[in-house]
Amino acid sequence: MMTAPDPQSRTRDTRRARLDAWIYRHRPLTHAIKTALATLIALLISALLSNWIQNPQWIVITVVVVMTMLPNLGGVMMRAMTRLVATLVAAAIALTVIYVSDEDPVATGATLVVGVAIFTFLAQIPKYRQVGVMCAVTLAVLLEFKEGGTTMVVWRGVDILIGAAIALGVAIFVFPIRASREMRFHMADTVESLGEIVTLAAADEETPEPQYEQLEDAIAKGIRAQRETLPLALIERKAVRNHKACLEHMMRSQRVILGLSRTLRRSYSHSSLGEATIGSTSGLDEVRSRLSRQLTDIAEAIRLSEAPGLDPQLKIDHADFKVSLKQATRSSDTDMVSPQAFAFAMEQIIMVTESIQKDTCFIAFDDEDDEESKDRAADMLDESASP
C-alpha cells in the first residue's frame, strides 16, 4: 500500500523544477558565468601551486578547453573524460618514445607524424571525433614542447587532471545545467507546439503556409535537439539510462503526431464548401480545445517533472464528432477528400497523445529513487485511468 506523497516534498520538487526552467532559459549566460568562475579558480590554484608543480598554466588551459564547448553537465563530463583519455594515451606514447629513443629528434618526429595521422583518421569517425582530435593535439604538444623530458610529460598530465577536476566540480555544484533537464525542456516546448499545430491543422479555415511551415520547422528542430541531448543525458544519470526506451518512444510519438497533423490538414480541401462542412460539424471545437489543452498540460507537467492527468472526456467527444462528421458529409455534396481520413487522423493523434501522457508519468520523478519513481508513476497512471 502506497503512502501519499509528502506535500512539502512536492513543493520542493516544483521549486527546483522552476529553477531548472530559469537556468534552461538563460543557459548561455549561466554557463558563461560558470566558465569564468572555473577559470578564476584555476588561476588561483595555479598561483598557489606554482612552487610545487611544473607548467601550472595547463590547469587553466584544460579548464577552458573542457568548459567552453558544451554547456550541460553531460557535455562537460564527456569533454573531461575525453581530455583524460587523450592525456593518458598521448602521455603513454610520448613517455615511451622519449625514454626509448633518449629524446632523438628523428624518432620523436616520426612518432608525431604517424600518431597524428592515426588520430586524424580516428577523428573522422563521429563516435570518436573528440577523442581523435584531443589525442592528436595533446601528442603534438607533448612531443614538440618536450623540454624536461619525461618529468615534463608527467607534470603536464597532472596539470590536466587538476584542470578537469575543477571543471567537473563547477559543472556539478554551481547551478548545474543537466542535459537530462535540458532534454526535458526541449521536449516540453515541442509537445506544446504540437498542440498548436494540431489546432491549426484541424481548423475550419486554412492557415497561411509560411506560418504552418515555420511551426513545423520549430517542432522538427525540437525533436532533433532532444535526440542530440539524449546521449549526454545518458552519461549524467542512471535514471535516464533506465528510462532510455521510454524517452525514445516519446520522441517517436512526437514525430508521429507531426506526421498525422499533415494528414489531418490534407484530408479535406480548404474550399468554401469543405471549410463550411468541417466548421459546422458539431463537436469539433470541443475536441480541438480538449486535445490542445491535453498536450499543453503534458508539456507543463514535463517542465515541472510531474505526472500529467488524462482527460477521459476527449475520446467520448471524438466519438460524437465522428458521428456528426459522417452525417454532415453524407447529407451534403462536399468536396472533402476523405472525412474518414480526417476522423481517423484525429483519433490516432488522441491515442498517441495518451501514449505520451503515460510515458510522461514514468519519467516524471527522475530525481527520486528508481523504485519510488516507479511506484508513484503507477499511482498516477491509476488515477488518470479512473473516470
Same domain flag for 195 and 278: yes
Same domain flag for 44 and 188: no
pLDDT bin (cut points 50, 70, 90) of residue 130 is confident
198 part of a folded domain: yes
2 part of a folded domain: no
Averaged pLDDT score across all residues of the chain: 81
User: Of 173, 190, 211, which closes a domain?
Assistant: 173
> In the predicted model, what is the mean pLDDT of residues 82-108?
87
Same domain flag for 227 and 146: no
Same domain flag for 257 and 371: yes
What per-residue confidence (pLDDT) applies to 352? 94
Report whether pLDDT(242) > 60: yes
Q: 139 — phi, psi (to 5°)?
A: -65, -45
371 part of a folded domain: yes
How many separate domains does the chain show? 2
Q: Around Cβ 238, how many Cβ atoms within 10 Å?
A: 10
336 part of a folded domain: yes
43-52, 281-290, 292-301: segment of lowest average pLDDT: 281-290
Same domain flag for 272 and 192: yes
What per-residue confidence (pLDDT) applies to 103? 80
Host domain of residue 326: 179-385
User: Of 155, 173, 191, which closes a domain?
Assistant: 173
pLDDT: which is higher, 281 or 314: 314
What per-residue confidence (pLDDT) applies to 196? 93
> In the predicted model, what is the mean pLDDT of residues 147-153?
71
Same domain flag for 350 and 209: yes
Report whether pLDDT(117) > 60: yes
What per-residue confidence (pLDDT) applies to 342? 77
Report whether pLDDT(138) > 70: yes
Same domain flag for 136 and 195: no
Determine the Cα–Cα distance for residues 181 and 376; give it in Å rounded to an integer: 20
Report whether pLDDT(183) > 50: yes
Same domain flag for 155 and 101: yes
Same domain flag for 125 and 191: no
For cell 587553466, the residue is 60
1 part of a folded domain: no
pLDDT: which is higher, 376 or 15: 15
What per-residue confidence (pLDDT) applies to 74? 86
**CB contact set of 308 (below 8 Å; sequence gap of 6+):** 297, 298, 300, 301, 302, 357, 360, 361, 384
Percent of the chain past pLDDT 90, that is, above it, reads: 30
Q: 71 — phi, psi (to 5°)?
A: -80, -25
pLDDT in tens, 222-241: 999 999 999 989 988 888 88
Helices 57-67 & 27-49 angle (0-180, nearest 10) = 170
Same domain flag for 353 and 214: yes
- Tell me, what CATH number does 269's domain have? 1.20.58
What per-residue confidence (pLDDT) applies to 1? 34
What per-residue confidence (pLDDT) applies to 26? 83
What per-residue confidence (pLDDT) applies to 10? 54
What is the identity of the amino acid at 29? L
What per-residue confidence (pLDDT) applies to 3? 43
pLDDT in tens, 37-53: 999 999 999 999 888 88
138 part of a folded domain: yes
What per-residue confidence (pLDDT) applies to 37? 95
What per-residue confidence (pLDDT) applies to 268? 60
What per-residue confidence (pLDDT) applies to 181? 84
Q: What is the Cβ-side half-sphere exposure of residue 360, based on CA atoms within 13 angstroms?
A: 31
Same domain flag for 133 and 72: yes
Determine the Cα–Cα distance for residues 220 and 32; give it in Å rounded to an integer: 28
Same domain flag for 322 and 224: yes
pLDDT: which is higher, 358 or 384: 358
User: Of 173, 202, 232, which closes a domain?
Assistant: 173
pLDDT bin (cut points 50, 70, 90) of residue 60 is very high
What per-residue confidence (pLDDT) applies to 297? 94
- Whether residue 144 contacts residue 112, with contact meaning beta carbons closer than 8 Å, is answered with yes
